[in-house]
Amino acid sequence: MRDSDELDKLVKVIASALPDDQKFIALHEPHFSGNEWEYVKECLDTGWVSSVGKFVDRFEHDLAEYTGVNHAIAVVNGTAALHICLKLAGVEQNDEVLIPSLTFIATANAVSYCGAIPHFVDSEMRTLGIDPLKLSDYLKDIAEIKQGDCYNKITGRRIRAVVPMHTFGHPVDLDPLMELCASYHIELIEDAAESLGSYYKGKHTGNFGKVSALSFNGNKVITTGGGGAILTNNESLAKLAKHVTTTAKVPHKWAFNHDQIGFNYRLPNINAALGCAQLEQLDHFLIKKRALADSYRKVIAEIDCASFMVEPEFAKSNYWLNTIVLNSPDEMKREYLLEKLNNQGIMSRPVWTLMHKLPIFTKFPRMELTVVENLEMQLINIPSSVMLGMTRVNAEGLE
């Protein structure tokens, strides 16, 4: 069979797992079927629409309870959450921060906001996230401990933190990464923007870093329109996070005093109201998303040229974005498949341009990046919206 024939067959089996009565199927759409209208209307009726209100408090409480962390601080978006996480972890100007080159640009941007240096590292196939074993070998060559801190022997800069990003909702292998951080005195900060509802060895992502970041953008598993959150089990860091994200204003009945540089990052009450309603439905959303992923897995198993990205054996994924993995890196095949799918009204996209290839980041340090440079030509995201999993859930009584 010619390559194009096999790719055409792949398009057909993907289409077979999707509704046949829609001219266009988006990559990931929000789904509103709960108390969204009621809660948002309450904000409008009462006038509590800005950065304080009962829904902000409730959303933070409910997030902490759902994820199992001690504290959640709601902010305006996931990038803001990650920015503050880095500052809370002590990242300073000219520090280096180890981040995957295979990530959304927000990860690298947040490092840059701190005046720090993104240092790009490779990923592994089974998780699409940071490869802790390869990173360990790399640090043996370039890192040294001086006065309790880790330094890059080549650049002379301090390596302050590592930021694993749970790609498309699939958790990174965190245990060996945490051991590595302990050995090299490096802070672990989880970029959990895509992994609400995902678990590593039975514990929700966001519990493993000193601080962690979530995102509630319109295309995430649940949405607040925009929005994000800082997660931590450290009470003092949680108090500091809330303080600096509210312009570092010292509490007073009328005076405006600020005791440090702060940020106007707090999530508005009207957005938090949307989030509360969405979070009430999260378990049902995850059932539908996992059902859709299972449908894809079964039909794509019939294809020789590609596989479906499944959760690693130690994890339970939210399958935020379903992903096809071509068997070999081939840009022409990837582009052929993208064109066929999108022309058929099945929205699909390649993975993000690798960070180290963007002109703004080409001069920053990086390790050998063979795996991600191959993955860039192998990965394609396909439709993943909650409602696409409803047909199978209803038919098989999975709820």
What's the whole-number mean pLDDT along residues 89-103? 98
Do 118 and 155 lie in one domain? The reply is yes
Do 79 and 140 lie in one domain? The reply is yes
Do 189 and 229 lie in one domain? The reply is yes
Which domain CATH number covers 226?
Answer: 3.40.640.10
Tens of pLDDT, residue by residue over 217-227, are: 999 999 999 99
Which domain CATH number covers 321?
Answer: 3.90.1150.10
Do 87 and 231 lie in one domain? The reply is yes
Do 129 and 26 lie in one domain? The reply is no
Model confidence at 395: pLDDT above 50: yes
Do 71 and 130 lie in one domain? The reply is yes
> Pick from 265, 280, 295: which residue ends a domain?
280
What's the whole-number mean pLDDT along residues 10-38? 96
Do 197 and 62 lie in one domain? The reply is yes
What residues make up the domain containing 132?
36-280
SS3 readout for the chain: CCHHHHHHHHHHHHHHCCCCCCCCECCCCCCCCCCHHHHHHHHHHHCCCCCCCHHHHHHHHHHHHHHCCCEEEEECEHHHHHHHHHHHCCCCCCCEEEEECCCCHHHHHHHHHCCCEEEEECECCCCCCECHHHHHHHHHHHEEEECCEEEECCCCCEEEEECCECHHHCCCCHHHHHHHHHHHCCEEEEECCCCCCCEECCEECCCCCCEEEEECCCCCCCCCCCEEEEEECCHHHHHHHHHHCECCECCCCCCCCECCCCCECECCHHHHHHHHHHHHCHHHHHHHHHHHHHHHHHHHCCCCCEEECCCCCCEECCCCCEEEEECCCCHHHHHHHHHHHHHCCECCEECCCCHHHCHHHCCCCECCCHHHHHHCCCEEEECCCHHHHHHHHHHHCCC
Do 196 and 345 lie in one domain? The reply is no
Tens of pLDDT, residue by residue over 308-364, are: 999 999 999 999 999 999 999 999 999 999 999 999 999 999 999 999 999 999 999
Model confidence at 248: pLDDT above 50: yes
Q: What is the pTM of this model?
A: 0.96
Domain tally for the chain? 2
Give residue 195's pLDDT: 98
Model confidence at 240: pLDDT above 60: yes
Do 255 and 311 lie in one domain? The reply is no
Do 253 and 333 lie in one domain? The reply is no
Model confidence at 92: pLDDT above 80: yes
> Pick from 251, 280, 309: which residue ends a domain?
280
> Pick from 263, 280, 297: which residue ends a domain?
280
Do 222 and 361 lie in one domain? The reply is no
- Banded pLDDT at 1 (limits 50, 70, 90): very low
Model confidence at 241: pLDDT above 80: yes
